[in-house]
Amino acid sequence: MKIGVFDSGYGGLTILREFLLELPEYDYIYLGDNARTPYGTRSFETVYNYSLQAVKKLFELDCQLIILACNTASAKALRSIQQNDLPKIAPHRRVLGVIRPSVEALDKITNTNSVGILATYGTVSSLSYPIEIKKLYPHITTAQEACPMWVPLVENYEYDKPGADYFVKKNIENLLLKNNNIDTIILACTHYPLLINKINLYKPANIQLISQGSIVAKSLIDYLKRYKEIETKLSKNYKREFLTTETTALFNKKALKFLNICKNFSTKQIFLD
């Protein structure tokens, strides 16, 4: 059985990239709902329905374990899927998200106990990060800033061009106005690692960035060690399949930017309902 990686579009490829580097032997299916992206501006119900459709499809395709590699889906759909749907549709399979592992990493990093979250409107308004952080580390204060222009900047290849500067600078300044004691920022959207050069330009040098890919990969390594009953069901043939709800020609062109370690890959278009 395989590991499924789901994202609203291309962003989850920055997470898959780290899985392929850290755990290359497993078989993966990546599913990007590119035809219906972005999720960041959609309602709770819509993100939940779309994510559940994707999870069911990945189960049909023989995934034992699915990572919702999308913060918006992790924020708005993960808990309902784990608690309400999974026991009915696939009690022996697992769905994990990216928020918990990102939060777990915080304690070792922040010295000022003030953390910033940069994310989509959907993730910010769900309050998933502040709630999760309070649960695990009550002494840490969280400030959030929604960056609705960042995903379109990345999707339109402006991430390394002057078009990105205005919004990256503005959102970082807004975040620091909310709390100027922040020493750690979570890039809580899978698209944002592509903006890393611009972010480094506008964030104060003392602030550390948490980019999720390697943290989520380390957490998956740990999970597979702890849950042998899941791990032993996973096949290890180094296979990768890429599925998109968009046309494949469109997907392949942009996917290469996100997944810059795979040169050739075959993609199939699928439909979710």
Q: From the candidates 63, 70, 147, 262, which is the catalytic residue?
A: 70
We find the least distance from the C-beta atom of residue 102 to ligand DGL, in angstroms, to be 11
* Residues 102 and 119 sit within 8 Å (Cβ to Cβ): no
262 as an active site residue: the answer is no
We find the least distance from the C-beta atom of residue 98 to ligand DGL, in angstroms, to be 8
Cα–Cα distance measured from residue 94 to residue 65, given in angstroms and rounded to the nearest whole number: 5
DSSP state of 95: E
Return the residue nearest ligand DGL (CB atom): 40
Q: Considering beta carbons, is residue 40 or 106 the nearer one to ligand DGL?
A: 40
70 as an active site residue: the answer is yes
Per CB under 6 A, residues contacting ligand DGL are 7-9, 11, 37-40, 70-72, 120, 123, 151, 189-191
Q: Which of 173, 204, 199 is nearest to 187 (CA)?
A: 199
Q: 149: number of CA atoms within 13 Å, CB side?
A: 12
Q: Which residues pair with 268 in a beta bridge?
A: 243
We find the least distance from the C-beta atom of residue 195 to ligand DGL, in angstroms, to be 12
Q: Considering beta carbons, is residue 64 or 128 the nearer one to ligand DGL?
A: 128
We find the least distance from the C-beta atom of residue 248 to ligand DGL, in angstroms, to be 19
3-class SS of residue 38: coil
Pairing mode, strands 114-119 and 94-96: unpaired
DSSP state of 99: H
Residue positions annotated with a catalytic role: 70, 189
